[in-house]
Each structure stands twice: as C-alpha cells, then as structure tokens.
Amino acid sequence: MVFLSAYSNCDIPLDQYQSSGGLESYTELRLTKTKFVLINEIWQPGQYEDPYQVIERGAWSCIGAGLYIDTKAARVKAQLSIIGSNPLGYPEVTKPLVFESSNNEVLSKKYCIRRV
C-alpha cells in the first residue's frame, strides 16, 4: 500500500476537527496540506478547568476517505463517514472523522466533527 501526502488524492477536507460528547477528554485535529496538529486534553471528572494536554505534530497521509497519522502511541487511521441519526443534534449528513480502534487510547473509536 502506498501512502500519499499529496492532498489531491484525498477526500478529506483540510480543516479543524474537534470531538464532542460528555467524556473527560477533548480532541482537536488541524489538517493543512502537509502537516497535522493534534491536541488532546484529558481531565479528571469535574476538573475540566485543569486538563492534562498533549500536542503532537507531524505529517499525515490519505487515500480517498482514509486518513493516517503517526502519533507517539501508534499509527492511527480515521475514516470520513456520515454520522446519520444521532442524539447530539448534528445534521444527519454531517461527515465526521471516525478513528478506528488502535493502541492510542485517546483516539480509539473517537468521532471528530468539522469545526463550523
């Protein structure tokens, strides 16, 4: 399999993506044509004002709707998907990045929605 960082081969919009939901964590992913910035914040229940923050930067690659980033914990894959019916009130046509199961516990199975 060949991984290409050329944006012309990618269906994923260059943008900022952020997690949503009631977990004790927040993830933001920023994609430019050649680089990513990944911000993960984790906190103890009820202590969201004092998060532990990890920022990672690097190159990313993409094939169609599949995004690959190399974090310190693991190579992580996210797939552009359609959210469909959901309890969060997002339009059903919203296309989040859905991270697959991985050794990166923070990103595993996380949804990140394009920032609007």
Per-residue model confidence (pLDDT) at position 36: 94
Residue labelled with tokens 């959210």: 83
Supply the pTM of this predicted model.
0.80
Tokens of residue 33, six digits? 């044509």
Confidence at residue 4, expressed as pLDDT on a 0 to 100 scale: 43
pLDDT tens digits along 25-83 = 889 999 998 899 999 898 998 888 889 999 999 999 998 889 999 888 788 899 988 88
**What is the C-alpha separation between 20 and 88, in angstroms, rounded?**
9
- Angle in degrees, CA 89, 109, 25, rounded to 5: 70
Domains and CATH numbers, the chain: 7-114 (2.40.128)
Q: How far is CA 35 from the centre of its chain?
A: 13
For 20, residues 6+ apart whose C-beta sits below 8 A from its C-beta are: 88, 111, 113
Query: 100 pLDDT band (50/70/90 cuts)?
Result: confident
> How confident is residue 116, by pLDDT bands cut at 50, 70 and 90?
low
Which residue did the predictor score with more confidence, 2 or 9? 9
Instruction: Measure the CA–CA gap between 44 and 67, rounded to whole angstroms.
Output: 30
Q: Are 108 and 101 in contact (CB under 8 A)?
A: yes
Q: What is the pLDDT of residue 29?
A: 94
